[in-house]
Amino acid sequence: MTKVLIADKLSPAAVAIFKDRGVEIDNKPGMTKEELLAVVDQYDGIAIRSATKITADVIKAAKKLKVVARAGIGVDNVDIPAATAAGVIVMNTPFGNSITTAEHAISLMLALARELPAANASTQAGKWEKNRFMGVEITGKVLGLIGAGNIGSIVADRAKGLRMRVIAYDPFLSPERAQDLGIEKVELNDLLARADFITLHVPMTPETKNILSAEALAKTKKGVRIVNCARGGLIDEKALKAAIDSGHVAGAALDVFEVEPAKENVLFGNEKIVATPHLGASTTEAQENVALQVAEQISDYLLTGAITNALNMPSISASEAQKVGPWIALASKLGAFAGQLTDTSLTAVEIVYEGTASQLNTRALSQAALAGLLNPILSGVNMVNAPLIAKERGIKVSEVRRGQEGAYEGYVKITVTLGNGSTRRVAGTVFSDGRPRLIQVKDINLDAEFAPHMLYVVNEDKPGFIGRFGTLLGDAQVNIANFTLGRSAPGQDAIALIEVDGQVPDAVVEQLTKLPMVKMAKALSF
């Protein structure tokens, strides 16, 4: 039975989803790392929030693990490279707390503009410092978004409702999308120079780390106010303190910090700083939403193969999984076919998708093909880690998509280039019965089903071959279940694909290679 560990506290409704879907669960929030390491090998999936850390050693110990899903956006507590290398899918729930996080950013901006936290503390201390707290209006001010994705676009919408003018720096923001959002797309330096308020909505990457560095802060408009509800480390905290102390930056509102929990920080103790303890996603609605989403996502993947919000795999919906499933099986088997015939290093792989195959999720198909190709050569390769392994070994992978040109409505062709310059070519399709078929090997047309045990034979097309071949297998007690032939031209190279009832012994394969007219014989398994 499929088994999932809930390692952090989730809503009872999320627990109910797992049970209703027939997934066995162990609900054990608050485990120590040692406790986790002791039991993690029992589980197919793990559901977490921010507390549990899925490190490389945890992944190494999790022999059955297929998926880790984070209820929330940030996955800083998951070693994604280690998970990918181990073939473990990592998911998050980027939309369940988007509104909550966006609202928190707007709240912090308003609190910062009107100095509300300091005014509150002063008033509750019995003071009445009406003239001390002179805030600023936000109406008509320029809001600079660094990142205009899901959360950033919600912030933009709310800010426009507050009559702010919104500009955005986001390399992935298209002019059309900017127009739809009613915002102006700008370069970073332009944003820094023009924005009265800056709010950050980007993930932590090598490119975004300290995106507001001392140098960047020096380029900002004097009196700018900065909000960060995204990730600690996007702002150089020491540089921000210096900019506030100098009066260049009027203040900052921060929900995230470089080191969390932030029990101490260089920015603390300054009335110009509004600080909250990473509350961006912390509303009742958001917590419920992400918990429900993570339960559905894990269940969908483990039970149906549907992949949603994965960070190291292409997404495949439940309905798409049914449609693309036979083609994934085909791509995997074609790759395995080529891989089992490869006896030297690989340098390149080209995968051609024609007709109906070109309209599918070709990224998923390519990963399946790569996994099939590399698995006979390297152990532990699967759809998740195959692209990484291919890249590490310098294998160039390319895709070609085109409309229908031949007799088949759709097909997949894999061409493998070996280190000696030679190539291996194999093509297949999926018929209406949903079963993958082999339709071409070495540019020789044929029609064969894949079977658990097969023989692949290249021979000269001359009389007597089939008789001698069949006799040898009969003498060796190898039963033929199916026999498919194809040839390039009369009297030239021919290919035989033979389905047999069991694994063919190496000694029998060796005898086959010694038959007259036989150029190659190879036992295959699928």
Query: Which residues are annotated as catalytic?
Result: 231, 260, 278
Is the CA virtual torsion 215, 219, 221, 227 positive or negative? negative
Cα distance between residue 16 and residue 358, in whole Å: 39
* Pairing of β 273-275 and β 346-355: unpaired
According to DSSP, the β-strands at 493-500 and 453-460 are: antiparallel
Strand ordering across the sheet containing 24-27: 24-27, 3-6, 45-48, 67-70, 89-91
Distance CA 276, CA 237 (A): 15
Nearest to 346 by CA among 330, 354, 335: 335
Residues 412 and 327: beta-carbon distance below 8 Å:
yes
- Residue 134: CB atoms within 10 A of its CB come to 8
Contact partners, residue 194, CB within 8 Å, separation at least 6? 142, 144, 167, 186, 221
> CA-to-CA distance for 198 and 142, rounded, in angstroms?
9
Residue-wise burial string across 377-416, b where 16 or more C-beta atoms lie within 10 A, e elsewhere: beeebbbbbbbbbbeeeebebeeeeeeeeeebebbbbbbb
Q: How far is CA 472 from the centre of its chain?
A: 49
Which positions ≥6 away from 28 have C-beta within 8 Å? 5, 6, 7, 35
Q: Output the six-digit token pair for 193.
A: 């120079």
Distances (CA, A) of 419 to 146, 254, 319, 390, 495: 46, 54, 40, 14, 24
**Size of the chain, expressed as the number of residues it contains:** 526
CA distance 129 to 127: 6
Q: What is the CB-side half-sphere exposure of residue 51 using CA atoms within 13 A?
A: 13
Are the beta carbons of 109 and 82 closer than 8 angstroms?
Answer: no
Beta sheet of 493-500, edge-to-edge order: 480-487, 493-500, 453-460, 518-525
- Which residues, listed in sequence order, are joined to residue 500 by a DSSP beta bridge? 480
Three-class DSSP category at 405: coil
